[in-house]
Chain A
């Protein structure tokens, strides 16, 4: 088991009080697992990704633990996390543009990054070239400035760079959302290739695009309002979701081939609840067509089938 997150609670401090962005998140990530993390904006998916690598100034670790390869991650201690970052936990941000220093050539920037993490660049130079080639980049990109590369090339450079030290956990936060469809496909396929070759042990792929998750992820975790709604294998989530939220989210997805003349899809009415003062009981209650009295109590995340966990009272129905 690469990653084990127990009852993780992270709040944002604001002038009006604490925003309960992550409110008791509990999951595990197996070796070699690519987990898609999906949900609407404001559901806590980015907060979860950030919590595993670096809490920013407004975020406060309220409770829960994170274990990586059997060792506890000191996520609340910014300084104690330093040895883990890049070596063991790494991140691909959404905009590769803002992850690259515009005043440095790519090669020099990678060298500086490695030195700052206590690694001699010479030691990984051959590996770096090999991996660039693997994602379809010529080694001469190392002598170029970021501005000379296209969006897809930059994203691939960032991908190679962030996985150079073979981290156990890679967090890809909307890593392909800003790319064109055809570039998106090749970047996603390279990411899966990195996992297959063991460059990264496991991956959390944060996205709002469930059809993209279907192409690459082994499991999918759907979050709603700071809690986990459902986690299961990708096939189960797509073909037999149990949580009403997951069902409605998938039902609202237009696909190549669906047109308004055949069927008219429907969105989910309402908006997610504010997390400054989250509602009691099931948080999806106000938008859920199945909601009844028992939903006033918080549903536990229960295992309904091996590897399939759902937080809903209505899964038996």
Chain B
């Protein structure tokens, strides 16, 4: 459904834009319908830039991003872009800044109606809104006709997902959507993503938190400095990390069942096997992947 091939993004950096920063380097990935794909990386890994490119908020410098066979960067004109957003929507980190505080929160639904469904009758639209709000497991009486400050972050975030569901959405880009939520409500939003997946939606789940990525996703992509370090079925990546960077990341995640010292001791006692990583020449900005087991790839080592 979504297919990125050899995508690069270079930003100009520095006081006069003289420097170059390759934020995304030769990324290949796919999202299928009914699949949650996690993009995991630390700050500066290019994970959000990939999300932005898929949403058409910034353009890829090289490579192609195909959504259902069409090149996203070739979409020209207002009508075509609007049509694209009928199927692809994003939800972002801070729910409070996604709403205009001087209007009631359900205005976001009204705006969808005026731009996409002007001919739908009031009663019919009301029905659809209630249905979408129910799908995200909110009680309409608690959330409709309220101002953003009267609602919690988790409720607002779910309203934004409900807004996306009013459209004929096929792909959802969820960029750090639960980082600002409390532990008690986080899990409800995560479970909602799983519900959506079961309805056949594709979800690109961008996160820095490995345990969250592990919980929801079918496939995991670990990014480092813009390039893919490791990619594969989530279970394989977490049970058998192959890239030294993924191993290092996993050893730093705070866990409830064992301490860091125990994790280190275990690694020292049973050192994981060395894997031959692909290499590239100096000045070559490609990032080849090697398939180690079925569907499980490792990328270059960037030190």
Q: A: which residues have CB within 8 A of B? A: 40-41, 151, 180-182, 184-185, 189, 208-212, 214-215, 238, 248-250, 252-260, 264-268, 271
Contact A256 B255 (CB under 8 A): yes
Instruction: Pick from B183, B191, B254, B257: contact of A208, CB below 8 A.
Output: B183
Instruction: Pick from A184, A211, A259: contact of B255, CB below 8 A.
Output: A211
Given A151-B43, A180-B43, A266-B187, also A256-B250 (CB < 8 A)? yes
Q: Min CB distance, A74 to chain B, in Å?
A: 34
Q: Min CB distance, B96 to chain A, in Å?
A: 12
Contact B214 A254 (CB under 8 A): yes
Contacts of A40 in B (CB 8 A): 182-184
Q: Min CB distance, A287 to chain B, in Å?
A: 9
Contact A182 B42 (CB under 8 A): yes
Most B CB contacts (10 A, CB to CB) among A180, A184, A208 go to A180
Q: Min CB distance, B153 to chain A, in Å?
A: 8
In the bound complex, CA of A315 to CA of B191 (Å): 30
Contact A254 B234 (CB under 8 A): no
Contacts of A182 in B (CB 8 A): 42, 248-249, 252
B217: nearest chain-A partner, CB-CB: A259
In the bound complex, CA of A267 to CA of B210 (Å): 19
Contact B211 A254 (CB under 8 A): yes
Contact B214 A258 (CB under 8 A): yes
Interface size on B, residues (CB 8 A): 34
Annotate B145-175 by CB proximity to A: 1 below 8 A, 0 otherwise: 0000000100000000000000000000000
Instruction: Pick from A151, A209, A267: contact of B187, CB below 8 A.
Output: A267
A254: nearest chain-B partner, CB-CB: B215
B131 at the binding interface (Cβ < 8 Å): no
B75 at the binding interface (Cβ < 8 Å): no
7 pairs of residues in contact across A and B, judged by CB atoms under 8 Å: A249-B183, A252-B186, A254-B212, A256-B210, A256-B214, A257-B238, A267-B187
Known: A182-B248, A185-B260, A259-B235. 11 other contacts (CB 8 A): A40-B183, A181-B252, A249-B184, A255-B211, A255-B257, A257-B257, A259-B215, A260-B216, A264-B194, A267-B185, A267-B186
A264: nearest chain-B partner, CB-CB: B191
A287: nearest chain-B partner, CB-CB: B184
Contacts of B152 in A (CB 8 A): 271
Contacts of B182 in A (CB 8 A): 40-41, 208
Contact B254 A209 (CB under 8 A): yes
B188 at the binding interface (Cβ < 8 Å): yes
Contact B215 A260 (CB under 8 A): yes
Contact A260 B191 (CB under 8 A): yes
B259 at the binding interface (Cβ < 8 Å): yes
In the bound complex, CA of A151 to CA of B257 (Å): 29
Given A254-B190, A260-B191, A260-B215, also A184-B184 (CB < 8 A)? no
B253 at the binding interface (Cβ < 8 Å): yes
Contact A267 B188 (CB under 8 A): yes
Contact A253 B183 (CB under 8 A): yes
B256 at the binding interface (Cβ < 8 Å): yes
B208 at the binding interface (Cβ < 8 Å): yes
In the bound complex, CA of A264 to CA of B214 (Å): 13
Contact B184 A267 (CB under 8 A): yes
Instruction: Pick from B43, B184, B215, B260: contact of A258, CB below 8 A.
Output: B215
Contacts of A238 in B (CB 8 A): 256
> Which 5 A/B pairs are nearest by Cβ-Cβ distance?
A254-B215, A268-B184, A180-B42, A267-B188, A185-B252
Contacts of A271 in B (CB 8 A): 152
Contacts of B43 in A (CB 8 A): 151, 180
In the bound complex, CA of A128 to CA of B269 (Å): 37
Contacts of B210 in A (CB 8 A): 181, 256
In the bound complex, CA of A59 to CA of B6 (Å): 55
Contact A252 B187 (CB under 8 A): yes
In the bound complex, CA of A40 to CA of B244 (Å): 35
Most A CB contacts (10 A, CB to CB) among B184, B194, B212 go to B184
Contact A212 B208 (CB under 8 A): no
Contact A180 B214 (CB under 8 A): no
Contacts of A211 in B (CB 8 A): 211, 253-256
Instruction: Pick from B42, B187, B214: contact of A181, CB below 8 A.
Output: B42
In the bound complex, CA of A252 to CA of B188 (Å): 9
In the bound complex, CA of A290 to CA of B140 (Å): 26
Contacts of A260 in B (CB 8 A): 191, 194, 215-216
Instruction: Pick from A256, A258, A259, A268: contact of B253, CB below 8 A.
Output: A256
Q: Min CB distance, B152 to chain A, in Å?
A: 5
Instruction: Pick from B186, B191, B260: contact of A215, CB below 8 A.
Output: B260
Annotate B96-120 by CB proximity to A: 1 below 8 A, 0 otherwise: 0000000000000000000000000
In the bound complex, CA of A151 to CA of B250 (Å): 20
Contact B255 A252 (CB under 8 A): no
B155: nearest chain-A partner, CB-CB: A271
Q: Min CB distance, B212 to chain A, in Å?
A: 6
Contact B256 A210 (CB under 8 A): yes
Contacts of B190 in A (CB 8 A): 254
Q: Min CB distance, A249 to chain B, in Å?
A: 6
Given A238-B256, A267-B188, also A252-B183 (CB < 8 A)? yes
